[in-house]
Structure 1
Amino acid sequence: MNRNFLYVMAGLFIGVALGVASYYSFPDKATAADVAKYMSLISTIFLRLIKMIIGPLVLSTLIVGIGHMEDAATVGRVGAKTMGWFVCASIVSLILGLFMVNLLQPGVGIVIADQGAQTANLSTAAFSIDNFVEHVVPSSIFKSLADGEILQIVVFSIFAGVAINALGERGKPLIELADNVSHMMLVITGYVMKLAPIAVCTSVASVITKSGPGILLNFAKFLGGFYLTLVILWAILILVGYLTLGSRMFDLVKRMYEPFLLAFSTASSEASYPKILDQLERFGVPRKIASFVLPLGYSFNLDGTMAYCTFATMFIAQAYGVDMPIGKQIAMAAVLMLTSKGVAGVPRASLVVILATLKQFGIPEAGLLLILGIDQFLDMDRSATNVIGNSLASAVVAKFERSLGPAKDDIGSAPVAEPQPAHA
């Protein structure tokens, strides 16, 4: 087990202890909120630095990956396999969330306080076709990089990679430039990751200082039920991975310990992106595959988020006593399957998806306030689950393409700051 993982684990436990101590040291809620705000500064800096890296890293690695593919037909074939996997994984996640929430009934018996005209202060405007197109089609690659619009960066990178491929010999210097940029960004990632244990500590401490450890007990059934759902989802993903990759699936899981913990403790899938990319290449997934599948996965393969959308929506319906026959639940899952793909780049996307679904199926919108306070804790597990889903998707697509090579190192033997050369 490498030292980075141990440092992040230590940061997590220290953060919990610090948060509990701070919560009881500052009984005044306003004071506790101020303390939590100052605590979160380091984690905010860390996440902003990660976002600084993501755009250039996705752009450069994806251009290199597509540039090394034989032709546009190869890009289309890999893209079709990738999206096919994503759709199947999303359906499984949605159905699992529905099954578990009906089995456990976590919302039954919840006492609803009078919430009056309170709202969750979230906009559902992101579900219009116009806004969906705006989040997919870039008007300027520089604006997309500045705004962190991953899907727009992916679209531009696909065009650029295919065009460079078509240039033949004239395109090789551009591929080399993009490859050098990607290596530079991975070195910068190594520097930024030095902050990870401190960021994890302050992120967890901030949440507990503000909300208190008691918030977990108040919704223990909901939290426990959803965590159990994700554990089952992990088991399904690992089983499918074993059937596809054989015993190498266990090696992949070991390699994802650190990205998993990083995503869990920061409640951000983006925080683990560079590390996943590095570990996938060390695992044997060619850079051209990993750099193509991962960015798409961050928009279309959010397995944890899919399970959460059905689980949380039905939880609210149960809490309010809204009748949801099986046919209506299936229709709701179908709607979630579509609408969840249209909120790439939308802040707190899962909550926006749930709010729109509540409105559409006649469930009180104020019910979102039931889960708003504990969403941070739920987001931690969702983000970690997305790490498993996206790393598995990359490895499986590489296997389907007969491009999965042997592991290039022992687990944890080298830092992110010293990436292996890209391979065609």
Structure 2
Amino acid sequence: MNNILQAGPAPAKPAIIRRKPWWRQLYIQVLIAVVLGILLGHYAPSTATSMKPLGDNFLKLVKLMVAPLIFCTVVHGIASMGDIKAVGRLGLKALVYFEVMTTLALIIGLLMVNLFHPGSDMHIDPATLDVKAIAGFTQTAHDQTVVGFLSHIIPKTVFGAFTDGDILQVLFISIVFAFGLQALGETGQPMLKVIDIGAHTFFNMVRIVMYVSPIGAFGAIAFTIGQYGVGSLTSYARLLGTYYITAVFFVVVVLGLTCRLSGFSLYKFLRYIREELMIVLGTSSSESALPRLMGKLERLGCDKSAVGLIVPAGYSFNLDGSCINMTVLAVFIAQATDTYLSLGQQVTLLVILLLTSKGAASVSGGAFVVLAATLGTIPGFPVAGLVLVLGVYRFISEGGALVNVIGNGIATIVVSKWEKVLDEPTLHRELERGPTPTQSTLP
């Protein structure tokens, strides 16, 4: 009897995780939807193009919640921190990391396109190209300046940032509001609690919307294949091959080494966010995964304030995939039109893109508009050559969106570790276990 009392209570049995059948897992459903969309786009293109509203409306649903979700997360994260200097350190370290990574992305893209020469056999006369198809992009690009970009950060009204859905403007309003709320001290605590409840509410709304993500992915990919055709993939096989080899190299080597130096596995991280990557693959939009990515990073042990600040900022300043596609496409156009770019001109191109790429998320058309603006600054460069890549750009931007999401997820973990706001035991435990189908991916 005494032995039993000394031994204490029997250890509790480990909880049994009941996994859903494979066909009920979100990333499997999205993958099936993507395959069905490709088949429909190939065999019934006219029907497939009519599926466009499915993808567009799904993205509208997600973007509807992105702005208020960023606002609530950023405000609660910053206002909850007692040390304003800590916020400044976190932001500064994030910006340094972003600059290093985007510079590496631009350099690697430049090296790879010069190595593979994807456009050297085309010999196209720029005078024969019809520029009507890119008129809207070049006009928007003409309006993009450094001063214009900086001025664009400040919205016309407080609510204008939310109605336009501009991430950079929402981030600006959120940071200013957070500091104002923090200055109130105890008086502002009721407001802080309401904002926290609001964040959880919007995360729940995202969870509901994600049930229809396979339908959105089906519509988006069906339209893309139906509109541009599989033939555009074969015609530009060398360009696509160069781009995706470069993107994979950047993720595996550069981001993989970054993960290793930070003490975690790239493979396990990719496995952990596989559902978000499948959603991006289907919709060709990195914004579609933003809310879920933020939720998963919190589950991986990143501090809420770090997630709220780094991820939205990264969507404007850490667009690694977009940087790669801009350098690859710029040199490809030069090669295809037999336009000689000296080493000095290519270095100039890289330096200009270091600045202009930061505005890629602030305009409609993103990297394509920034590319048009950048090419226009190089004397003698045939900007009309953008017509050559217009049809295949959708497939390239899809890869860019995937790299952007991966890069921003890793950036959040790395910078959180630098600032010592990362729960490393939680990170390793979650990565080792992987996301369970029964686990909520949102806070």
Interval containing the TM-score (normalised by the shorter chain): over 0.9
Equivalent residue, structure 2, for 1:56: 68
Q: Give, in whole Å, the separation in 2 of the partners of 1:343 and 1:384.
A: 15
> C-alpha deviations, 1:85-116, integer Å up to 9, x for none?
00000100000000000000001011427225
Contact 1:191 1:417 in 2 (8 A): no
Contact 1:189 1:417 in 2 (8 A): no
- The answer to whether the 8 Å contact 2:73/2:196 transfers is yes
Contact 2:124 2:338 in 1 (8 A): no
2:38 aligns with one of 16, 37, 50: 16
Over 3 Å counting, the alpha-carbon distance change for 1:415 and 1:274 in structure 2 is: farther
For residues 77 and 366 of structure 1, do their structure 2 counterparts lie closer, same or farther at Cα, with a shift above 3 Å needed? Answer: same
Letter matched to residue 68 of structure 2: P
1:196 aligns with 2:200: no
Q: In the alignment, is residue 106 of structure 1 matched against residue 128 of structure 2?
A: no
Aligned to 1:419: 442
Match of 1:125 among 119, 142, 155: 142
In structure 2, C-alpha distance between the alignment counterparts of 1:415 and 1:42, rounded to whole Å: 27
The letter of the residue matching 1:294 is V
1:163 matched to 2:185? The reply is no
1:119 and 1:365 in contact (8 A); partners too: no
Q: What is the number of equivalent residue pairs in this alignment?
A: 410
Q: If the length of structure 2 is used for normalisation, what is the TM-score? A: 0.88
Normalising by structure 1, we get a TM-score of: 0.92
Q: Which residue of 2 aligns with 1:369?
A: 387
Determine if the alignment matches structure 1 residue 384 to structure 2 residue 402.
yes
Counterpart position of 1:333: 350
Cα deviation for residue 296 of structure 1 reads: 0.3
1:225 maps to 242
Distance 1:418 1:334, change over 3 A: closer
Alignment partner, residue 29 of structure 1: none
Asked if structure 1 preserves the Cα contact closer than 8 Å seen for 2:361 and 2:367, the reply is no
Conservation of the 8 A alpha-carbon contact between 1:14 and 1:201: yes
Q: C-alpha separation between the residues in 1 aligned to 2:288 and 2:319?
A: 15
Amino acid at match of 1:271: S
User: Do the aligned partners of 1:141 and 1:152 also contact (CA within 8 Å) in 2?
Assistant: no
Q: Deviations over 1:134-183 (max 9, x none)?
A: 42012322111000111111111111112222222112112111111110
Does 2:97 match 1:89?
no
The code of the aligned residue for 2:29 comes to Y
- Out of 290, 294, 306, which is 2:323 matched to? 306
Is 1:282 aligned to residue 304 of structure 2? no
Indicate which of 192, 198, 203 corresponds to 1:181. Answer: 198
Report the equivalent of 2:51: 39
How many Å apart are 1:363 and its aligned residue? 1.4
The alpha carbon displacement at 1:403 in A equals 1.4
Q: Tell me the distance in 2 between the aligned counterparts of 1:68 and 1:199.
A: 36
1:136 to 126, 144, 153: 153
Gaps of 5+ in 2: 1-21
How far is the alpha carbon of 1:200 from its aligned partner? 0.8
- What amino acid is aligned across from residue 155 of structure 1 in structure 2? F
Match of 1:401 in 2: 419
Residues 238 and 365 of structure 1: CA distance in aligned 2, closer, same or farther (over 3 Å): closer
Letter in 2 for 1:59: F
Q: 3-state DSSP class of the match of 2:70?
A: helix
Question: Which amino acid is 2:113 matched to?
Answer: V
- Residues of 1 paired with 2:399 and 2:236: CA distance? 15
Letter in 2 for 1:270: E
Q: Which has the larger radius of gyration?
A: 2
2:25 match? 3
Give 2:296's aligned amino acid.
Q
Q: Equivalents in 2 of 1:416, 1:185: separation in Å? A: 18
Q: Is the 8 A contact 1:54 1:274 kept in 2?
A: yes
AA partner of residue 411 (structure 1): G
Letter paired with 1:41: P
Quote the RMSD (CA, aligned, Å): 1.8
Matched-pair identity in %: 31
**Further displaced range: 51-60 or 163-172:** 163-172
Distance in 1 between residues matched to 2:311 and 2:257, nearest whole Å = 18
Instruction: Give the distance between the partners of 1:235 and 1:56, measured in 2 at CA.
Output: 34
Structure-2 residue corresponding to 1:272: 289
Residues in 1 aligned to 2:192 and 2:124: alpha-carbon distance in whole angstroms: 58
**Residues 244-275 of structure 1: CA distance to partner in whole angstroms, max 9, x if unpaired?**
33235443222121111211221101000011
| 1:414 Cα offset (Å) | 5.9
Moved more, 90-99 or 164-173: 164-173
